[in-house]
């Protein structure tokens, strides 16, 4: 009985040991497989860094206003009798836009003109009598004062009558009427806006540190976005005072607007162009990746070479494949194989750089990059240092998909 128990126990130990040993062997082989497994090469787009010209600029956010623009109001009370304009109408200077009821003022003016004529006639008679020596100086002075007062009263009533009309102070485009026929208007009531859209002014602010870079007459470009700035003008005014609360300086530029595409009150991106610089290293902004440790890029180079791209090692290029050596009928290198497939394997190096100014989708690199480096511009989301890559520049990430489809 004991002998059978010992035999069963030995068999159980052998079975359990075999199972444990098999599991350990399997785990070790799996680890070894994944440790030696080479990840597939990633496909990326690249660009070769070359020195280029760079136009630096001062960028800001601005608001468009008309060089001449005003909200027209009435100066006196009255009932709207006639509206002589419609929305978006172009008017000339001194065109009558609004007429208030002026019947009472016209009647008062006619009466006063009659009184002024009577006083002028009395003055003429007093002068004649004085000339003949039958009139007194007091009578002449009284007649002259009455005539002067009557003439002044006529001018006053004429000014009151003119206030019943609203005229355009300058040529421009009127907006939507804010009043209706028959409406009673009080002094200061806004009637319509008048804007001269031929020339626009753009007001924006810049930090005080950038103030030495600006001067009167510099070129200004503006538009609705950084990549689209079709309008060009010049700096016309620089505020000599810095706002002590915001530390900003107010700048004003003027831009021609012949097609009327700019509208008063519109938000625009503004860029004041500075003198052009040469031999500046720039990259598309898509090539630069920011992290907590700094800004970095991926540089592509042949495997085994961290610098410039040399040719492949002769020993590696001449080494036949194991399967090719086993098959004497298969040549070591196929002469008909494309040259692109015979190029050395490309790998990545992660390089930290110091970025500078940005403009039109490009970023200036101040340190960490050299001319001739091939830098990844797209597809770097899952890349890591030393990874194998394939270069495919058929897609340019710096251009829109519509532009690439049209090419």
- 46 lies in a domain? yes
Residue-averaged pLDDT of the chain: 81
Q: Hey, what are 127's tokens?
A: 């002068």
Q: Could you tell me if 269 and 132 lie in one domain?
A: no
Whether the CB-CB separation of 365 and 353 falls below 8 Å is answered with yes
Q: Could you tell me if 290 and 142 lie in one domain?
A: no
Range of the domain at 382: 42-54+278-406
CATH number assigned to the domain comprising residue 319: 2.40.420.20
Query: What is the predicted pLDDT for the residue at 313?
Result: 35
CATH number assigned to the domain comprising residue 195: 2.40.30.170
* Total domains in the fold of the chain: 3
Whether the CB-CB separation of 238 and 213 falls below 8 Å is answered with no
Q: Where does residue 2 rank: exposed (0-12), middle (13-18), buried (19+ CB within 10 A)?
A: exposed
Which is higher by pLDDT, 15 or 100?
100
Whether the CB-CB separation of 49 and 375 falls below 8 Å is answered with yes
Tens of pLDDT, residues 245-270: 999 999 999 999 888 888 898 999 99
Indicate if the pLDDT at residue 338 is higher than 60. no
- Output phi, psi for 247, to 5 deg: 60, 35
Band (395; pLDDT cuts 50, 70, 90): low
Q: Could you tell me if 375 and 292 lie in one domain?
A: yes
Query: What is the predicted pLDDT for the residue at 399?
Result: 58
Residue 182 is given by DSSP the state T
Residue burial 340-362, b: 16+ Cβ < 10 Å; e: rest: eeeebebbbbebebebebbbeeb
73 Rama class: left (phi>0) / alpha (psi -120 to 50) / beta: beta
* DSSP3 helix / strand / coil % (the chain, rounded to 5): 30, 35, 35
Q: Could you tell me if 220 and 183 lie in one domain?
A: yes
Query: What is the predicted pLDDT for the residue at 327?
Result: 41
- The whole-model pTM stands at 0.59
Q: Could you tell me if 189 and 215 lie in one domain?
A: yes
Query: What is the predicted pLDDT for the residue at 227?
Result: 63
Query: What is the predicted pLDDT for the residue at 193?
Result: 93
What is d(CA 344, CA 301) in angstroms, rounded to the nearest whole number?
9
Q: Could you tell me if 87 and 226 lie in one domain?
A: yes
- 23 lies in a domain? no
Q: Could you tell me if 292 and 362 lie in one domain?
A: yes
- Mean of the pLDDT values across residues 51-72? 88
- 71 lies in a domain? yes
Which of 274, 298, 332 finishes a domain?
A: 274
| 176: CB partners within 8 A, 6+ apart | 87, 192
- 325 lies in a domain? yes
What is d(CA 391, CA 296) in angstroms, rounded to the nearest whole number?
19
Mean pLDDT lowest among 1-10, 306-315, 330-339: 306-315
Q: Could you tell me if 226 and 368 lie in one domain?
A: no
The count of residues in the chain is 407
Which of 274, 304, 334 finishes a domain?
A: 274
């Amino acid at each position: 009985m004991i002998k059978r128990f010992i035999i069963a126990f030995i068999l159980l130990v052998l079975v359990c040991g075999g199972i444990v040993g098999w599991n350990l062997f399997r785990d070790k082989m799996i680890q070894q497989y994944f440790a030696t497994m080479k990840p597939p090469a990633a496909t990326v787009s690249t660009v070769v860094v070359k020195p280029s010209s760079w136009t630096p600029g001062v960028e800001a956010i601005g608001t468009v206003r008309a060089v001449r623009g005003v909200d027209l109001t009435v100066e006196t009370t009255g009932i709207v009798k006639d509206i002589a304009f419609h929305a978006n109408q172009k008017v000339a200077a001194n065109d009558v836009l609004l007429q208030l009821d002026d019947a009472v003022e016209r009647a008062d003016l006619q009466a006063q003109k009659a009184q002024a004529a009577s006083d002028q006639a009395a003055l003429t008679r007093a002068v004649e009598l004085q000339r003949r020596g039958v009139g007194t100086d007091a009578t002449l002075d009284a007649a002259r004062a009455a005539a002067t007062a009557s003439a002044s009263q006529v001018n006053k009533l004429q000014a009151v009558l003119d206030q019943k009309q609203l005229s355009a102070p300058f040529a421009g485009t009127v907006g939507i009427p804010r009043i209706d026929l028959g409406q009673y208007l009080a002094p200061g009531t806004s009637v319509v806006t008048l804007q001269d859209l031929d020339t626009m002014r753009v007001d924006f602010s810049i930090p005080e540190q950038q103030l030495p870079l600006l001067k009167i007459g510099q070129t200004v470009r503006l538009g609705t976005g950084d990549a689209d700035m079709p309008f060009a003008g010049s700096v016309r005014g620089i505020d000599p005072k810095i706002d002590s609360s915001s530390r900003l300086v107010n700048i004003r530029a003027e831009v021609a607007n012949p097609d009327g595409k700019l509208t008063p009150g519109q938000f625009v991106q503004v860029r004041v162009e500075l003198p052009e610089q040469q031999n500046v290293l720039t990259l598309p902004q898509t090539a630069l990746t920011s992290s907590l440790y700094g800004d970095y890029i991926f540089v592509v180079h042949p495997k085994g070479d961290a610098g410039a791209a040399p040719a492949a090692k002769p020993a590696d290029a001449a080494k036949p494949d194991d399967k090719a050596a086993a098959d004497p009928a298969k040549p070591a290198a196929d002469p008909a194989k494309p040259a692109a497939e015979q190029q050395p394997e490309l790998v990545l190096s992660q390089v930290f750089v110091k970025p500078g100014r940005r403009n039109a989708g490009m970023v200036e690199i101040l340190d960490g990059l050299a001319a001739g480096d091939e830098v990844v511009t797209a597809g770097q989301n899952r890349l890591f240092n030393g990874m194998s890559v394939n270069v495919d520049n058929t897609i340019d990430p710096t251009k829109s998909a519509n532009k690439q489809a049209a090419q």
